[in-house]
């Protein structure tokens, strides 16, 4: 098997730009030399993967412009060649790659934009949930069962903390609308993304809802969530506020079912 393997390694080295030794293995004809014939594969490899990144990171491409994006994509391809059978996963390291490419605030913005777009892809094809908890199901829960109530969330949820106002910028770019000015907050803002009836939705979370959601997703009971919320909310109001969060999550179709701690 050495011969076939060596041939394939030489071909692949050519495609990734490491060696031109494969040219000696290829037949040239009068109308097309080996170099020209191999070039079809060399170019197709790059174009296909640049186009794949441009789909997953369409806002980043439009923000940077096609030329700068292609330069970035080619460099990314050199550093993170695809190792997955599906091209779907080729772009997963781009946010990490951007950390090493740019400096300062521009790096932070680009990385946050890329992270946000990648999170959208994860929400797009995450596992479905079958039946979801409905608001009328909540009415069936007896008052004495509320404290130990826990929540199972659907898989098609992502959240990330962003200093920049990335989601409205991404949305405007995606819809061809006027792009709002870039703004950086003093503290990161948590953004929630979820899929509802095949469409991806997003909204920002106040810090106490962000904490409550994270705890709930981690299996905390309603009582434990209320206790933690006391850091932000008065004791008299805390159960009402927490119940409001639960109502919002159920209404947004984030919750599959209830459990008991």
Partner 1 sequence: MTEQTNKPYLGFGLGLRAEHYQDILERKPKNVDWFEILSENYMIDGGKPLYFLDAIRQDYPMVMHGVSMSLGSTDELDFDYLKKLKALIERVEPHWFSDHLCWTGVDHRNMHDLLPLPYTEEAVNHVADRISRVQDYIGRQMLIENLSSYITYCDDAMPEWEFLSAIADRADCNLLLDVNNIYVSSYNHHYDPIEYLEGVSAARVWQHHLAGHTNDGNLIIDTHDQDIIDPVWALYEETAKRFGAVSTMIERDGNIPELDAVLAELEHARAIAEPWYQD
Q: Give the binding site for partner 1 (CB under 8 A).
A: 1, 3-5, 7-9, 11-12, 15-16, 24-27, 29, 31-32, 34, 36-38, 40-41, 44-45, 48-49, 52, 81-88, 90, 124-128, 155-156, 195, 198
Compute CA 109 distance to the chain's CA centroid, rounded to the nearest angstrom: 15
3-state secondary structure of 132: coil
CA distances from 219 to 67, 151, 206, 260 (A): 46, 7, 20, 9
Residue pair 182/169 in contact (Cβ under 8 Å)? The answer is: yes
Tokens of 93: 């390291």
Select 44 or 177, whichever has its Cβ closest to partner 1. 44
Select 4 or 178, whichever has its Cβ closest to partner 1. 4
Quote the least distance from Cβ 252 to partner 1, whole Å.
17
Quote the least distance from Cβ 125 to partner 1, whole Å.
4
Residue pair 227/221 in contact (Cβ under 8 Å)? The answer is: no
Distance, CA of 48 to CA of 73 (rounded, Å) = 11
Quote the least distance from Cβ 8 to partner 1, whole Å.
5
Quote the least distance from Cβ 50 to partner 1, whole Å.
11
Select 86 or 136, whichever has its Cβ closest to partner 1. 86
Quote the least distance from Cβ 257 to partner 1, whole Å.
17
Quote the least distance from Cβ 13 to partner 1, whole Å.
10
Distance, CA of 226 to CA of 21 (rounded, Å) = 67
Select 227 or 252, whichever has its Cβ closest to partner 1. 252
Select 1 or 181, whichever has its Cβ closest to partner 1. 1
Distance, CA of 203 to CA of 21 (rounded, Å) = 53
Compute CA 228 distance to the chain's CA centroid, rounded to the nearest angstrom: 29
Give the number of other Cβ atoms within 10 Å of residue 83's Cβ. 7
Select 20 or 108, whichever has its Cβ closest to partner 1. 20
Residue pair 78/17 in contact (Cβ under 8 Å)? The answer is: yes
Quote the least distance from Cβ 73 to partner 1, whole Å.
14
Query: Closest Cα to residue 86, out of 46, 49, 117?
Result: 49
Tokens of 169: 């910028």
Select 147 or 155, whichever has its Cβ closest to partner 1. 155
Query: Closest Cα to residue 260, out of 149, 137, 151, 138?
Result: 149
């Amino acid at each position: 098997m050495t011969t076939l393997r060596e041939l394939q390694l030489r071909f692949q080295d050519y495609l990734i730009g490491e060696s031109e030794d494969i040219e000696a293995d290829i037949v040239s004809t009068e109308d097309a030399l080996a170099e020209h014939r191999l070039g079809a594969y060399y170019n197709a490899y790059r174009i296909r993967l640049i186009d794949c990144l441009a789909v997953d990171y369409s806002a980043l491409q439009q923000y940077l412009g096609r030329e700068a994006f292609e330069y970035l994509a080619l460099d990314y391809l050199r550093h993170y060649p695809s190792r997955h059978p599906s091209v779907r996963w080729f772009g997963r390291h781009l946010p990490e790659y951007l950390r090493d490419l740019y400096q300062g605030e521009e790096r932070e913005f680009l990385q946050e934009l890329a992270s946000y777009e990648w999170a959208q892809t994860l929400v797009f094809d995450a596992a479905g949930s079958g039946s979801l908890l409905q608001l009328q199901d909540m009415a069936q829960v007896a008052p004495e069962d509320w404290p130990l109530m826990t929540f199972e969330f659907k898989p098609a949820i992502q959240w990330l903390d962003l200093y920049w106002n990335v989601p409205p910028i991404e949305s405007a770019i995606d819809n061809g609308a006027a792009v709002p000015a870039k703004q950086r907050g003093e503290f990161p803002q948590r953004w929630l993304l979820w899929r509802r009836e095949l469409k991806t939705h997003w909204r920002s979370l106040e810090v106490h809802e962000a904490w409550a959601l994270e705890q709930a997703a981690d299996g905390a009971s309603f009582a434990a969530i209320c206790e933690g919320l006391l850091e932000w909310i008065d004791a008299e109001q805390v159960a009402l506020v927490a119940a409001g969060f639960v109502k919002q999550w159920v209404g947004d179709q984030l919750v599959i079912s209830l459990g008991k701690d």
